[in-house]
Amino acid sequence: MGDRYFPNEMPDYIPETTTAAVEETVTERNNKDSLTKLLSLPYNILSQRLKASALDLKDTRFWVLSLFLSVLLLAYPKVGVTAFEYFNAEVALVVWELRRVTFICGWAGVCALGAVAAKHAGDGRLLDHYLAQFKEIRLPSDLPYELLYGRAGFLWACSFLNKHIGKETISASCKRAVVDEIIKAGRLTRNGKCPLLYEWHGKRYWGAAHGLAGIMLVLMDLELTPDEVEDVKGTLHYMIKNHFPSGNYPSSEGNKLDCLVHWCHGAPGIALTLAKAAEVFGDKEFLQAAMEAGEVVWNRGLLKRVGICHGISGNTYVFLSLYRLTGNVEYLYRAKAFACFLHDRAQKLVSEGKMHGGDRPYSLFEGFGGMAYLFLDILEPSEARFPAYEL
Ligand SMILES: [Zn+2]
C-alpha cells in the first residue's frame, strides 16, 4: 500500500510569512528546505510562482498536446491564449473518441467546449454549429451509466452547456429522458441496502470515474422528483456508512482492498461528491463525511503520479473544494502544500524514476497538463474547480 504514495511529512499548518516577517537571518533561511520555504510564502507570491511554472510548461509540447479540457475550464483568460488556439489543437487529437458521447471522453464534450469557446469569441455562427452538432447526438441503447463513458457523462455535457450558454440550451425534457433511464437502471440493480447501484464491466463501482460518486454528482445537479432525491441521498448515506475503517472508500461494492486514494477510485472523488451534497442538501452529515474523506487525502494522497485522475494534482482539488465550502484557511494551506510539493519536486522525482509521469505524460487527466492547470487554477482558489467534475 505504502508504495502508491509518498508519506506526507509536511507540517499540518504553517502560517504565511507576512512581508514584515520576511526579515529572517541568512542562517535561518538556509536551514529551511526548499519545500518548507515555499509553504511559508505569502499566498500571492507563491501563486505567482506557480503561474510562472505553469507558463514555463507552455513553451514545451505540453500545451499543444495536453489541453483537451482547458477550454472547458475556461483557463484561457488566465494565460492569455485564445480558446480557439486550444480548441483547434485538441479537436484533431480526439477524433478517435468521437464515437463516444460523454463530456470527458467524447463528442458531446467536443461540441460543448466548441459552443462555449465560440460564445466567448463572439462567433454566433460557430456557436450554432456546435449546438446543432450536440443536439444530433443519440445515445446507444447499450450505453453504460457512469461518468466517463456513460449516460451520466452525456448529462454532464448538458449541464455544462446550460451553465455557460443559457439555462434552457438543452431542454429539461431532453435531460429528463436520460435521468429516467439512469434512475430506472439504478433501482433495478440495487441490493436492498443501497437505493441505486450500477454495473460496469462486471463490477459495481463507487468512485467518480465509473461509479456511484460520479453518477450521484451529476444527478444532484439536475431537477429530481422527491423520491429520486431520497434515492440519491440514501445512496450517499449507504456509502458513508460502509466506508473502510481508515476513512477511505472501496473502489467497488464488496471490494475489501483499501489502497486507492484517487479521484477515479477512492476517497478524493467521493469527497468532492459529498461536498456537492453538503452544498445542495445543506446536510451536516455530508459535510462531515466530506471533511473526513479529506483527512484520508491529506494523509495518503501524495500519490506518485502528477495528473488529476489518479495523481497529486487531482487530490489537491479536494482541499480547494473544502476551502470553498467551509472557508477554513487550513484547507487552503493543504491545497497550497500539495501544489508546493508538485512545484518543488515533481519534475525531479519523475526524471529520477521515483514518480510516474503518466501513461499519457502531457495530458490533463494523467500528466503534467493537470499540474499546469492546477497551478493556474490555484491563483483564485475560491474559483478553482476540479476539471470537468466540478462545473
Ligand atoms: Zn484515474
Q: Which three cell numbers stand for residue 18?
A: 507576512
Question: pTM of this prediction?
Answer: 0.90
Does the pLDDT value for residue 287 go beyond 70?
yes
pLDDT for 358 beyond 90? no
Q: Residue 92 and residue 97: Cα distance in Å, rounded? A: 10
**pLDDT the model gives residue 68:** 45
How many whole angstroms from 269 Cα to the centroid of ligand 1? 10
Task: Find the range with the poorest average confidence among 118-122, 175-179, 243-247.
Answer: 118-122
pLDDT digits (tens, 9 = 90+) for 263-281: 999 999 999 999 999 999 9
How would you classify residue 261: left for phi > 0, otherwise alpha for psi between -120 and 50, otherwise beta? beta
Question: How far, in Å, is the centroid of ligand 1 from the Cα of 366?
Answer: 7
Calpha distance 85→75 (Å, rounded): 12
pLDDT tens digits, 226-242: 999 999 999 999 999 99
**Among 110-124, 182-196, 245-259, which is the least confidently predicted range?**
110-124
Output the CA 305–ligand 1 centroid distance in Å. 10
Q: Closest Cα to residue 54, out of 46, 257, 333?
A: 46
User: pLDDT value at position 99?
Assistant: 72
Separation of CA 373 and ligand 1 centre (Å): 17
Q: Give residue 209 CA to ligand 1 midpoint distance, Å.
A: 7
Q: Distance, CA 16 to ligand 1 centroid (Å)?
A: 32
Let me know: does 248 contact 300? Beta carbons within 8 Å: yes
* CA 343 to ligand 1 centroid distance, Å: 21
- Which pLDDT belongs to residue 98? 62
The b/e string for 279-303 (b: 16+ C-beta within 10 A; e otherwise) is bbbebeebbebbbbbbbbbbbbbbb
**Chain-centre distance of CA 7, in angstroms?**
22
Is residue 387 within 8 Å of 373, Cβ to Cβ? yes
Average pLDDT, the chain: 88
- Mean predicted confidence (pLDDT) in 48-76: 63
How far apart (Å, rounded) are the C-alpha atoms in residues 146 and 142?
12
Higher pLDDT, 391 or 22: 391
Q: Residues 184-211: what's their mean pLDDT?
A: 95
Q: How far is the CA of 266 from the centre of ligand 1 (A)?
A: 10
> 308 CA distance to ligand 1 centroid (A)?
8
Q: How far is the CA of 206 from the centre of ligand 1 (A)?
A: 13
How many A from CA of 208 to the centre of ligand 1?
A: 9
Backbone angles phi, psi at 283, to 5 degrees: -100, 125
Distant-in-sequence, close-in-space partners of 57: CB < 8 Å, separation ≥ 6: 63, 368, 371, 372
What's the gap in Å between 265 CA and the centre of ligand 1? 7
C-alpha cell belonging to residue 356: 510516474
Distance 35 CA to ligand 1 centre (A): 26
Type of residue at 18: T
117 compared with 125, residue with greater pLDDT: 125
Rounded CA-CA distance 352/101 in Å is: 39
Q: Can you list the alpha helix ranges (DSSP code H) found in the chain?
A: 26-31, 34-39, 43-58, 62-65, 76-79, 83-91, 107-121, 124-135, 151-164, 172-189, 212-220, 226-241, 267-281, 284-300, 312-326, 329-341, 347-351, 368-377
CA of 259 to the centre of ligand 1 (A): 13
Q: How far is the CA of 260 from the centre of ligand 1 (A)?
A: 10
Is residue 350's pLDDT more than 90? yes
What are the tens digits of pLDDT across the range 310-322? 999 999 999 999 9
Per-residue pLDDT band for 346 (boundaries 50, 70, 90) equals very high
- Interval between CA 372 and ligand 1 midpoint (Å): 17
